[in-house]
Amino acid sequence: MLEVTDAREVAVDQAFEPTIVAFFCNWCTYLAADLAGTSRMKYAPNARVIRVMCSGRVDPQFVFDAFARGADGVLIGGCHPGDCHYQEGNYKALRRYQLTKRLLTDLGVEPERFRLEWISAAEADRLRDVMNEMTAQIKALGRADFSVPDEPFDIPELEPEPEIEEAVVS
């Protein structure tokens, strides 16, 4: 079944499972994920979790790289304001996140694809809810396509490039 959303036709296909790259802070969100696991909570399994020592470690380049490599969504999980293990780290994450989000929006990336959530070590249920919601939203949006399409022109192939020796400058 095809649904047309503006200029995009996306396959709303039950087989599409979004890939969500999740940067979880070691001290809280990561532990929440552990807790969800030991509690045998069921929730959308779409996150590829990357543990960082602090949400403040997340560089915008990580986010862009994730999308460039095929992520359909990126989630950052950190400690609640005031609870950062390193005092200020999550505030840095917050400021960076807000500006990054604006940039991604200007590039045409739907806001649902990029989220920052404060999830403490005890909040496994919150993690479950966030994951389920984010997965459902992105499923409806379809794949994030950052591929650079092939250009419809033939580029003449030169003969195979020979090995070029190191430049010898006399």
Partner 1 sequence: MSDKPKVAFYWCASCGGCEEAVVDLAEKLLDVADAVDIVFWPVALDTKKADVEAMGDGEILATFVNGAVRTTEQEEMVRLLRRKSQLLLAFGSCAHMGGIPGLANQWDRETILDTVYRQSPSTVNPEGVVPQQVTRENGYEVYLPGFYDTVRTVGQVTDLDYVVPGCPPTPGIIAGAVATLLSGEVPPKGSVLAPDVALCDECDRKVTKPETVSLTEWKRPHLVDVDEELCLLAQGLVCLGPATRAGCGAQCVGANMPCTGCFGPTSRVRDGGGKALAAIASLVGSDDPDEIERILDGIPDPVGTFYRYSLPASLLRRAPMAQPVKITTQGSDARKVTR
Partner 2 sequence: MEHENATQDPLRTGAERANASYMQQRRVVIDPITRLEGHGKIDIFLNDSGGVDRAFFQVPELRGFEQFVVGRPVEDMPQITSRICGVCPTAHHMVAAKALDALYGVEPTLTGRLIRELVYAAFMAEDHALHFYFLGGPDFVMGPDAPAATRNVLGVISKVGKEVGLKVIEMRRRLREITALAGGKVIHPVLGLPGGVSRRIKLDEVDQIKQVADDAVEFAEFSLQLFRDVVLGSSAYVDMITSDVYSHETYYMGLVDENDKVNFYDGDVRVVAPTGGEWDRFAGKDYLDHVAEHVEPWSYTKFTYLKQLGWKGFVDGAESGIYSVAPLARLNVADGMATPRAQAAYEEYTKTLGMPVHHTLANHWARLVELLYAAERLQELANHPELTGDDYRRIPTATPSEGIGVIEAPRGTLFHHYQTDERGIVEKANLIVATQNNSARIAMSVEKAAKGAISGGHVDEEILNKIEMAFRAYDPCHACATHTLPGSMPLILNVHDTAGSPMLEIRRDADGGVYRSA
Residue ranges that bind partner 2, judged by CB under 8 A:
106, 152-154, 156
Contact of residue 169 among partner 2, partner 1, none (CB under 5-8 Å per partner type): partner 1
Cβ-based nearer residue to partner 2, 106 or 163: 106
The phi, psi pair for 23, rounded to 5°, reads: -95, 110
Q: Give the residue, chosen from 35, 86, 92, 126, that forms a contact with partner 1 under the rule CB under 8 A.
A: 92
d(C-alpha 115, C-alpha 45), whole Å: 17
What is the C-alpha to C-alpha distance for residues 28 and 53, in angstroms, rounded to an integer?
A: 10
Nearer to partner 2, 45 or 108 (CB): 108
Provide the pairing of β-strand 8-11 with 2-5: antiparallel
CB of 18 to partner 1, least distance (A): 8
CA atoms of 150 and 69, how far apart (whole Å): 17
Binding segment toward partner 1, per CB under 8 A, in 24-32, 36-44, 106-114, 128-136:
106-114
CA terminus-to-terminus distance, the chain: 67
Spacing of C-alpha 135 from chain mean position = 12
Positions that interact with partner 1 (CB under 8 A) = 7-11, 13, 15-17, 19, 59-61, 63-65, 67-70, 81, 91-92, 94-96, 98-100, 102-103, 106-109, 142-156, 158, 161-162, 164-170
